[in-house]
Structure 1
Amino acid sequence: MKTLINNFIKQLKEIQDGQIWLNVSFKKKLDLLDEKEVFKRPIPKLHSVAELISHLTFWRKEAILKIKTKKGLLTDESEENWLTIEQLKKIGWKKIQADYNNSLSEIILLLEQKDDSFLYETYYDNDYKDDYKYLFLIEGMLHHDIYHLGQIGMLTKLLSVR
């Protein structure tokens, strides 16, 4: 049975470019910004949109590794978790977006090969130093995406009033 897996895939897609109850998606928010704005911090202690998208990609790649190997490598303290604006500018916004989109596609492809029983298998989490069910990981990814989507919404508003 793939009821839960298919629901998670649907949610992952809809948050990116769909019609959800919140009436907002990553695509809607990112389409409001140009390449210069994504690197700006409207308030010094806030992350830029590029930093947030890179951060989400970092954790998606870690989730991909966990799905493939039952173990991750990285932690919150990993340098790649929050690249600097200078590092991100060198990478470029188009590449940051492409990596972000590709990471979503890869997670969806991996999940499409699974059934609901996979969600109750375990992987080792380096941050929490214990085994967790994949259900925890997939739900956490959705929560993480929505959390940062809200931040991007705030950033787009702050950038538009400057």
Structure 2
Amino acid sequence: MDSRGGRLARRGAERISLRRDGRTGGGVWELIRHITAWENVFRLRLEGQPATEPEEGVFPPVEDISEEAWAEALRRLDGGHERLLQTVARLEDSVLPEKVPGKDYSTRFLLHGVVRHHVYHAGQIALLKKSFAP
């Protein structure tokens, strides 16, 4: 995604909320909400706060498919991503081998997981977008 949501912003909200089979659920919009929700959990963990799952759910449902709601979802994605990047930028190398509070893995492992999570879902989004191409 260029500038995280740049290319997605040019798609219609209703179209982006649908799956290839024409039903809602499991589409790009839900993936965007999922990524946003988990970025917050990752950030909280990196800040030393115990966080289990996103408050809004693992895959928050899309209930409003208006253009305004789509724009807000992209703003939240960009804002959450920026906060996560700022948190990562403040980390000292010395914390990388340290355990994440309440977890049995290191900060380094968590950061690798964040990257894997983003790459995996970016691939899903790319495939979904391609399926809608004319």
Q: Which category of TM-score, normalised to the shorter sequence, fits these structures?
A: 0.7 to 0.9
**Where in structure 2 are there 5+ consecutive unaligned residues?**
none
Q: TM-score, normalised by structure 1?
A: 0.69
- State, as a whole percentage, how many aligned pairs show the same letter: 23
CA contact (8 A) 2:5 2:78 kept: no
Describe the SS at the equivalent of 2:57.
helix
CA 1:104 to 1:114, structure 2 compared with 1: closer, same or farther past 3 Å?
Answer: same
Which deviations, in whole Å up to 9, do the C-alpha atoms of 1:52-102 show, x marking residues without a partner? Answer: 010001110001111122421327xx761112232x537811111111111
Q: Distance in 2 between matches of 1:57 and 1:116?
A: 25
CA RMSD of aligned residues (A): 2.6
Q: Could you say which residue in structure 2 is the equivalent of 1:104?
A: 81
Normalized per residue, which structure has more helix?
1
Q: TM-score, normalised by structure 2?
A: 0.82
Q: Distance in 2 between matches of 1:103 and 1:52?
A: 14
1:69 maps to which of 36, 45, 48: 48
Normalized per residue, which structure has more strand?
1
Q: Could you say which residue in structure 2 is the equivalent of 1:84?
A: 61
CA contact (8 A) 2:25 2:62 kept: no
CA contact (8 A) 2:20 2:128 kept: yes
**Where in structure 1 are there 5+ consecutive unaligned residues?**
1-14, 18-25
Cα distance, 1:38 vs structure 2: 1.6
1:136 maps onto 2:109 in alignment: yes
CA contact (8 A) 2:17 2:24 kept: no
Q: Could you say which residue in structure 2 is the equivalent of 1:40?
A: 18
